[in-house]
A and B are shown apart, each in its own frame.
Chain A
Amino acid sequence: MLAEALAGLVFLPLLVACALLVMPRRTRLPLVLLGILPLPLLMFPVTTAVLADGLQIIAVAGFERPLGIEWRVDALSLVLKWLNAVIAVLVGLYALADYHPGSGKGRRFWILWLLLISALNALFLSSDLFNLFVTLELMTLAAIGLLVIDGKPAALRAGMRYLILALLGSMLYLMGVALIYAAAGTLDLYQAGGLLADDALPIVALMLMTVGLLIKSAIFPLHAWLPAAHGNAPGPVSAVLSAVVVKASIYMIWRLWLWFAGDWSMDWALTVLGLLGAGAILYGSILACLQDRLKMMVAYSTVAQLGYLMLLFPLFGVLGFAGASYHLLAHGLAKAAMFIAAANILKGLGTDRMDRLDGTDRKLPIDTFTFAIAGISILGLPPSGGFVAKWLLLQQAWGQAGWGWVAVLLIGGLLAAIYLFRPLSRLCARPLAAPEQALKSPGKAFSLLGLLLALLALGMGFAPAPVMDLLLGGPPPGMAP
């Protein structure tokens, strides 16, 4: 049952994507729904198996390692697969507004969308360094295809820059993989690290892979491509890019440092990674305060929030792991909601410049509400998923007397309050002389999808127990549970 469900999560979107190429116009909408709606249902058998027995290992096609490739599901994979499934369905339904699969562009959009979902599902299962490379490439190409699908000049330029840097990241990663294979003779993520020690060659390989993945995750100071890409992409694409796609490469960095190289003694490097995260939080937040377009502000906020995920390395402990993983989930939901709200505002007003946002709350009440609710979670105000995550990180930092990290966490929260209050005060402001603009309504149902995502992020603060138990029960090796 578990193996079938996992195979379904990977192959159902893939098969539907292929079918979309040949099926006639009328059948494409039901086909697309068939490709995304069952994904959360398929997650249930996986979830029950992991809740009952912890780590699940499946040898694909019955070939055991080292010859075959294994799929592994543990607490972290499960959380990310849930995030992917929820975003695939809710943001996917939202995308139906602009990209109906009956049209030519809609068909291209949906083929890429389903490929992206499939690649992400496979990535969160892989336990093989080369297999991870393949899925990462699939994910990146599909994501950039979605980014440039409208052919707008700004998106094309941003997509091209993203593509060049992403390919550079892939090549650095591939070089690292080649060196690891030469040194260890295996590419199994959970086996190779134990065969190697922290000698020169494995460290060089690990550094190459890490730098490549840091580029793809847009961690400060390698973040330059992200704001333009996420800020100029079509609405649903911005949402999925910020919510899941950048998280995938951070997930791989976690796997490399905490699982693969978990028992190498490289404390200095963990501190450096943490400092990069701190730099991302401060720099991203300050630039988010300075943006004059709403979507660019949200994109810089992503740069800042990704920094919290790197704080896991210096805040090494069960609470830190649970907090960072919870942040991954809460930020994914809240940021998807925020990008959907921003996309609706852009579509409704025809602009998302900050100085044109006055009085939007009357014209687009649901979207303004969504933006505010998502903001609460991004900001980390109680009660929200973001609050639980940051509270846990703060507890971990406090517990190990890392006062510098405590300061970064607190200043990051303060700066988030500043950059989120700016657009919110505009959205709810009364314009002095209201120029009556024709309003293009995005459609209430599509606004409600964004609200649902924001409420999910908020609800994570009310009921963190199930996810938290799961995360506390499955920390990386070396962390006492």
Chain B
Amino acid sequence: MNHPEIWIMAAAAIFGISVYALIVRTHLLRQLLALKVMGNAAFLVLVVGAGTVNGLLDGIPKALVLTGIVIAISAIGFALAVLVRLAEVTGSVDLDEDPSDQEPARDTNDPRDGDGHAG
């Protein structure tokens, strides 16, 4: 690969942008997108950083990136499923909207533990 510095700088920029988005954006879907993009920066570094073995390009980083992509997809898929459930149950896709997540809605005189589906 010619000029790996360019690619490394691109990866750093992508990484920085996604960290920024993760901090600034509060919509959970945007935060998940930021995380996905952040993963791509790491994959870029893995591919660009690959050395040569006996004159051939080292194959291990490709295997690592493939594994990493599979993990990232399943993690994001799982996160989306949780997000959909969260939106169904609480009607919110923003964790900052409701700071009362330390108070479960069961402080009643009913000794039975309610099913918790408030609202």
Which residue numbers of A lie inside 8 Å of B, CB to CB? Answer: 130, 133-134, 137, 141, 144-145, 148, 150-154, 156-161, 163-164, 167-168, 170-171, 174-175, 177-179, 181-183, 185, 187, 227-228, 231-232, 293, 296, 346-347, 349-351, 353, 437-440
The answer to whether B61 and A181 have CB atoms under 8 Å apart is yes
Once the chains are docked, how many angstroms separate the CA of A153 from the CA of B75?
Answer: 21
A152 contacts B104, C-beta separation under 8 Å? yes
B83 / chain A contacts, CB cutoff of 8 Å: 160
> Which of chain A's residues have a CB closer than 8 A to the CB of B5?
none
CA distance A347 to B106 in the complex (A): 12
Chain A residue nearest to B104 in the complex (CB): A154
A134-B67 CB under 8 A given contacts A161-B95, A163-B79, A346-B113: yes
Top 7 A-B residue pairs of the complex, sorted by shortest distance between their CB atoms = A182-B49, A350-B111, A152-B116, A178-B45, A178-B46, A174-B42, A157-B101
Minimum Cβ distance to chain B for residue A25 (Å) = 23
Taking CB atoms, residues of chain A closer than 8 Å to B111 are 349-351, 437-440
> A296 near B68 (CB under 8 angstroms)?
no
Total chain B interface residues with beta-carbon distance under 8 A: 52
B64 partner residues in chain A, CB cutoff 8 A: 130, 181, 187
Q: A141-B74, A183-B49, A231-B102 are in contact. List 5 more A-B contacts (CB 8 A).
A: A156-B85, A171-B38, A178-B46, A178-B49, A179-B45
Contacts of B74 in A (CB 8 A): 141
Distance (Å) between the CB of B42 and the closest chain A CB? 4
A418 shortest CB reach to chain B, Å:
20
Question: Which of A170, A174, A440 has the most chain B CB within a 10 Å cutoff?
Answer: A174
Q: Is the CB of B45 within 8 A of A232?
A: no
In the assembled complex, the Cα of A120 lies from the Cα of B67 at a distance in Å of 19
A440-B112 in contact (CB<8A): yes
A228 touches B35 (CB 8 A): no
Give B contacts to A, CB under 8 Å.
15, 22, 28, 31-32, 35, 38-39, 41-43, 45-46, 48-51, 58, 60-61, 64, 67-68, 71, 74-75, 78-79, 82-83, 85-86, 89-90, 95, 98, 101-107, 110-113, 115-119
B116 touches A160 (CB 8 A): no
**A350–B85 CB distance below 8 A:** no
User: Bound state CA distance, A227 and B101, in angstroms?
Assistant: 10
Q: Tell me how far the C-beta of B57 lies from the nearest C-beta in chain A, rounded to whole angstroms.
A: 13
Q: Which residues of A contact B58 (CB under 8 A)?
A: 185
Consensus secondary structure, chain B interface: helix
Residues of B contacting A175 in the complex (Cβ-Cβ under 8 angstroms): 15, 38, 41-42, 45
B82 and A159 within 8 A (CB): yes
Roughly how many angstroms separate A133 CA and B115 CA in the complex, as a whole number? Answer: 36
Contacting residue for B106 out of A130, A141, A164, A350, CB 8 A: A350
Given A154-B116, A158-B101, A163-B82, verify A181-B42 contact (CB < 8 Å): no
CA–CA, A168 to B59, complex, Å?
27
A148 touches B82 (CB 8 A): yes
**Bound form: Cα–Cα A154–B113 in Å:** 14
A156 and B105 alpha carbons, distance in the complex (Å): 13
Q: A171 to B39, Cβ gap below 8 A? A: yes
Instruction: Give Cα A293–Cα B45 distance, bound, in whole angstroms.
Output: 46
Q: A153-B90, A160-B82, A231-B102 are in contact. Are A137 and B71 (CB under 8 A)?
A: yes
Interface SS of chain A: helix
Given contacts A170-B75, A178-B46, contact A151 B85 (CB under 8 A): yes
With contact pairs A151-B89, A153-B89, A171-B38 given, residues A141 and B102 touching in the complex (Cβ less than 8 Å): no
A353 to chain B, nearest CB (A): 7
Task: Kindly state the separation between the CA atoms of A438 and B115 in the bound complex, as whole angstroms.
Answer: 17
Min CB–CB distance A111 → chain B (angstroms): 13
The docked-state distance in angstroms from the alpha carbon of A347 to that of B90 is 23
Cβ-defined contact, B49 with A144, below 8 A: no
Given the known interface contacts A228-B101, A350-B112, the answer about A144 and B82 at a Cβ–Cβ threshold of 8 Å is yes
Contact across chains for B103 and A167 when beta carbons are under 8 A apart: no
Whether A164 touches B103, Cβ cut-off 8 Å, given contacts A175-B15, A440-B111, is: no
Separation in Å of the A98 CB from the closest CB of chain B?
11
Closest to A293 in B: B102
Q: Are A168 and B110 in contact (CB under 8 A)?
A: no
With known contacts A151-B89, A157-B86, A159-B82, A174–B68 Cβ distance under 8 A: yes
Please tell me which one of the listed residues B61, B89, B102, B117 contacts residue A228 in the complex, with CB atoms under 8 A apart.
Answer: B102
A178 contact from B28, B42, B101, Cβ within 8 A: B42
Q: Which residue of A lies closest to B91 (CB)?
A: A153
Across the interface, A168 reaches (CB within 8 A) one of B22, B51, B112, namely: B22
In contact, B86 and A160 (Cβ under 8 angstroms): yes
Q: How far is the CB of A354 from chain B (nearest CB, A)?
A: 12
The one of A174, A231, A351 in contact with B107, judged by C-beta atoms closer than 8 angstroms, is A351
Sampled A-B contacts (20; CB under 8 Å): A130-B64, A130-B67, A134-B67, A137-B71, A141-B78, A144-B78, A152-B115, A156-B85, A156-B90, A160-B28, A163-B78, A164-B32, A167-B35, A171-B35, A171-B38, A171-B39, A174-B39, A228-B101, A351-B106, A439-B111
Contact pick for B75, options A137, A177, A181, CB 8 Å: A137
Q: With A175-B45, A178-B46 given, is the CB distance from A157 to B95 under 8 Å?
A: yes
A145 touches B78 (CB 8 A): yes
Of residues A154, A161, A227, which shows the largest number of chain B Cβ atoms within 10 Å of its Cβ?
A154
Q: Is the CB–CB distance between A347 and B113 below 8 Å?
A: yes
Contact B82 A296 (CB under 8 A): no
A312 to chain B, nearest CB (A): 28
User: Which one of B41, B95, B105 contacts A160 once the chains associate, using CB atoms below 8 Å?
Assistant: B95
